[in-house]
Amino acid sequence: MPPKQSSFHEDEAKLIVPLRPALQNYSWGIRGLDARVARYALETGIIDEVDPDAPYAELWIGTHPKGPSSLLNGDSLESKVGAPLPFLFKVLSCGKTLSIQAHPDKSLAVKLHQNDPTHYGDDNHKPEMAIALTPFEAMCGFRRIEEISALLRKHPEFSACISNEAKLAVFMCKDEASRRDALQMLFASFMSCPTETSKTQLAALLKRLQNEQSTLHPHPHEEPPWERKCSRAVLRLSQQFPGDAGAMAPFFLNYLLIAPGESFFMAPNEPHAYVAGEILECMACSDNVVRAGLTPKFKDVQNLVDMLSYTMGGPNIDAGAPAYGDERIMRYTPPVPEFEVMLATCNPGEELTLPSLKVPAIFIVIEGSGTTDNEEGQRLIMRPGRTYYIPPNASPLFISVNNSKHGSLKIALAHENLHSEKPTLVTREKSHTHPGEFSNGV
């Protein structure tokens, strides 16, 4: 720990700056103080009180024009940085399912923005990474074609929403190319199913599943766990979005539970829908979303059908890698240049050093309390939700937690990717089975 100085260094360009993030109150957010987003917003002073009946969905930290962060004096973060940040850092509190969606690649983003700037407000791609803060449920990527085939046979109501041509393609495919073609045919057929048909079949499906749930299954061990999980997920989604055929999405998307500290990366053109829980999310600086179901917002089904990569299997789940020679600093590095995230944990009675970085960075206190110091003599009190900007080439940050504290101080820091040659999260290049889904999973 460096000796304390009585005054700040003259070079203010190296000082850490408190930030005010932007709050987004979408309908799927967690209500009241149960939402981490609400508690963080209260701590940073961007709200004066928390409405117990209001949903608090997202906290944005960055320079995106839809929700730019500001300094305490009202100046924009972008004016302090001198340019837009290439990434957008978020905290999400998901109380109900977000839409079935995907994000465009760069070329499609340019096209969508030119043709429909109202619904696609920028021309950037949006690869994104999620890190679970609580147990987190999500639907990510298409199921393997063998799983979908089994579900088509088991659930006639789902099968009735798919054309005979698409079902035949699913049952007959034999190689990687034919599997992708069959998957695209099935998804396009399901998404174009007449509303009257899909609502009728969904109602029949729910009635049957509810009856099965309310009675003792005659042969409970003959049904694979992943199939039971599918049925429960359909019932749950249908309660959130009555009459929406998107409730059958677990029949073709992987349904996953991610543990705190685990992460996954969603490349452009990959389908997903977050279901419940709280996460950190970092992405390229964009808000482009192509939606197709489980949402009251604008749906763009044809673009979604056309843009998807139709890769099968769930995402690779990653728990990070130690960084800077300290296992208390975990690095989450995607295969894109715009961003990476560090999670630093300082336990009671310990000290921890965050090294100097050559690029602009932002960090948010996730939980716990403590203090930070730097060589400029700047001391900051750490409390959950407090958010800061670290200028490039700032002095190392020295973190300490008093021995009397009962919990660890956890900080999440985002910046431009400095370890692109050593990604911890990778893009899937071929289909695979996610553990716990198709074979002997539980």
Among 135, 59, 137, 134, residue whose Cα is nearest residue 96: 137
DSSP state of 316: P
**How many other β-carbons are positioned within 10 Å of the β-carbon of residue 315?**
26
User: Is residue 232 annotated as part of the catalytic site, yes or no?
Assistant: no
The set of residues, in sequence order, having a beta carbon less than 8 Å from that of 96 and lying 6+ positions away, is: 27, 28, 240, 275, 276
Contacts of 360 (CB under 8 A, 6+ apart): 81, 85, 389, 390, 391, 392, 415, 416
318: which DSSP letter?
B
Please say whether the beta carbons of 110 and 383 come within 8 A. no
Q: Is 210 left (phi over 0), alpha (psi -120 to 50) or beta?
A: alpha
Do 76 and 70 touch, CB atoms closer than 8 A?
yes
Cβ–Cβ < 8 Å for 246, 112: no
Cα separation, 427 vs 335, whole angstroms: 7
Give me the half-sphere count of Cα atoms (radius 13 Å) on the Cβ side of residue 375.
10
DSSP per residue over 146-158, as a string?
HHHHHHHHH-HHH
Distance CA 125, CA 112 (A): 11
Say how far apart CA 368 and CA 388 lie, in whole Å: 16
CA distance 429 to 286: 24
CA of 345: how far to CAs of 114, 336, 342, 394, in Å?
44, 25, 10, 20
CB-count burial class (<10 Å; 0-12, 13-18, 19+) for 29: buried
Catalytic residue (one of 20, 36, 144, 291): 291
Angle of the 195-214 helix axis to the 225-240 helix axis, nearest 10 = 120
Cβ proximity of 80 and 73 under 8 Å: no
Taking the CA atoms of residue 341, residue 407, residue 380 and residue 73 in that order, the dihedral angle to the nearest 10 degrees is 70
In whole angstroms, what is the distance from residue 20 CA to residue 6 CA? 27
Catalytic residues: 291
